[in-house]
Amino acid sequence: MTGRLSTLRAFALGLLTGGLYLAGTLYWLSTVMSHYGDINIAGAIAINAAFIAYLALYPALFAVIMRRLTSVFGVSAFAVAPFVWTATELGRMYVFTGFPWVLLGYSQSSVLPIAQAASVAGVFGVSALVVSVSAALAGVVVARAWKPAAIVIACVMLIAVWGNARAKGAQLTREGQPLRVGIVQPNVPEEEREAPGRGPEILQREISLIRQVAAEKLGLIVLPESSLPPLEEYPDVARSVRQTVRETGAPTLLGSDQYEWRIANGQRAVDKSFNAAFMLRPDGTTAAVYRKMHLVPWGEYVPLKRWLTFVGPLVQAIGSGFDAGDTMTLLPVGPHQVSTAICYEIIYPEMVRQSVVLGSELLTTITNDSWFGPSSAPYQHFEQAAMRAIEEGRYLVRSANTGVSGIVDPYGHVIARTDIFHPAAIAGDVRLLTGRTPYSLVGDVFAYASAILTAALLLMASRARPTSGD
């Protein structure tokens, strides 16, 4: 019974820790569901609390695994804590389609000497580095394990020295072909977008910002997610936009919905709808369309909506939702290929890596963060996007409807950045790159190796006699 209680206590402490960690970073989901999902605030808080409790199961699992390993191997098991934590983060990335928002490694996205480790082992490697420091401190407190702590500190210092030299050297900023990029941030809150009769005014605002930034003699203009109504269904809007693109002479990336139709009972009806990104050529014609592949739970679809009957208002507000695209489509800019990630697709490292594997020379991400309101979420989203630039050794261009928009270089330096809830038209210089970082070559090998190591250690622990009565 004592051992069982110890395990339960580890689970409870892990759940509490995870709950505090995630509640502090996902608190804004309650407001989103209440404001846009037509759910009273108490119900929204309850749903968010349940979601956070689910996500907190991963830190709880980490605590239980570490409880088991320390009971068998003693304090020396602290050495594998970084790998166990990484294994649980990998699970959060994929289980039930995943929700890897604010993984631990993102805490270092602005600490550039440490963040450079992502170019080798991805954000999971940075997470492991953070946990290694925590585990070393725990070893000192629990067992006066000064030598392991000294080794960890020395390793972190070596990584920081290397990372600082890498970020300052910034070799990639002198390679590749230069390209001047413009970003449009129209600042259209959802309330304004949905207000009757505001469409023409919003369109003119966006066209004005396009023309404003086009004065910079650009090679690419980027507009945010859902910046325009479906071009194929609104010919007047399409004509205005295509004409504006012809006037600027710059390829233009913009977000809009795209439909596939079917005939039902002799009438035309929507068969599938996609959240899409359109690349327009300098002559205004469509060069390529990318359809969003990873949809947002609670925003673009409701998980398990057949069983979650109590979230009926949210289901109704979202409607039938979007369909997921199935192809990583690259977008041409002259003879070059660029890629885009729509909204929170940018927090999936492997999706972005796949675009680089296929030949993307520039990362872009378009999003509509107006849902988040004046919370910390837009800033969290931007910091997570910046980590992709370091991982892939690519410039990243981000256009957000209400901000934060900006440009990040391959080392995480922010070249340009806007405030939230202000219209903006900014420009900056990037480079089209073809080189590959170690991470872009091998992907999440470190994370999968951590999962295999964790499974192997648990198997060994199951066959061993505990040293402390578990």
pLDDT reported for residue 318: 46
Give 4's pLDDT tier (boundaries 50, 70, 90): low
Whether the pLDDT of residue 1 is over 90: the answer is: no
What sign results for the dihedral spanned by CA atoms 38, 255, 28, 298? positive
Which of 206, 300, 343, 383 does the annotation list as catalytic?
343
pLDDT reported for residue 2: 41
Which of 206, 292, 361, 392 does the annotation list as catalytic?
292
Active site annotation includes 192: no
pLDDT reported for residue 53: 97
Q: Sheet harboring 177-185: ordered strands across?
A: 286-291, 267-280, 252-264, 220-222, 177-185, 424-432
Average pLDDT, the chain: 92
Rounded to whole angstroms, the Cα distance separating 14 from 213 reads 49
The predicted model gives 343-366 an average pLDDT of 97
pLDDT reported for residue 299: 65
> Which run of H or of E encompasses 5?
helix 2-26
- Residue partners of 150: CB distance under 8 A and separation at least 6: none
C-alpha 167, offset from chain centre: 22
Which of 225, 345, 391, 392 does the annotation list as catalytic?
225
Question: Pick from 31, 370, 374: which is nearest to 185 by CA?
Answer: 370
The predicted model gives 235-261 an average pLDDT of 95
Rounded to whole angstroms, the Cα distance separating 410 from 389 reads 5
Domain 176-293+328-434 CATH superfamily: Carbon-nitrogen hydrolase (3.60.110.10)
pLDDT reported for residue 466: 59
The predicted model gives 187-191 an average pLDDT of 89
Q: Give the lowest-confidence range in 69-78, 110-119, 298-307, 334-343.
A: 298-307
pLDDT reported for residue 199: 85
Rounded to whole angstroms, the Cα distance separating 163 from 170 reads 11
The predicted model gives 38-55 an average pLDDT of 92
- Residue partners of 315: CB distance under 8 A and separation at least 6: 302, 305, 308
State pLDDT tens for residues 146-185. 999 999 999 999 999 999 999 999 999 999 999 999 999 9
pLDDT reported for residue 190: 82
Helix (H, G, I), strand (E, B) or coil at 398: strand
Active site annotation includes 292: yes
pLDDT reported for residue 319: 45
Whether the pLDDT of residue 232 is over 90: the answer is: no
Q: What is the DSSP code (8-state) at residue 463?
A: T
Tokens of 124: 């999971």
Helix (H, G, I), strand (E, B) or coil at 181: strand
State pLDDT tens for residues 313-345. 554 444 457 899 999 999 999 999 999 999 999
What residue ranges do the domains of the chain occupy? Answer: 2-170+444-462, 176-293+328-434
Percent of the chain predicted with pLDDT > 70: 93
Cα separation values, 57 from 54, 109, 308, Å? 5, 25, 20
State pLDDT tens for residues 400-456. 999 999 999 999 999 999 999 999 999 999 999 999 999 999 999 999 999 999 999
Percent of the chain predicted with pLDDT > 90: 81
Q: Whole-prediction pTM value? A: 0.93
pLDDT reported for residue 316: 47
State pLDDT tens for residues 253-301. 999 999 998 887 888 888 899 999 999 999 999 999 999 999 877 666 6
Question: Please, are residues 333 and 179 in contact by the beta-carbon 8 Å criterion?
Answer: yes
Amino acid identity at 124: F
Rounded to whole angstroms, the Cα distance separating 351 from 9 reads 37
Active site annotation includes 155: no
Q: What angle do CA 380, 383, 389 make, to 5 degrees?
A: 150
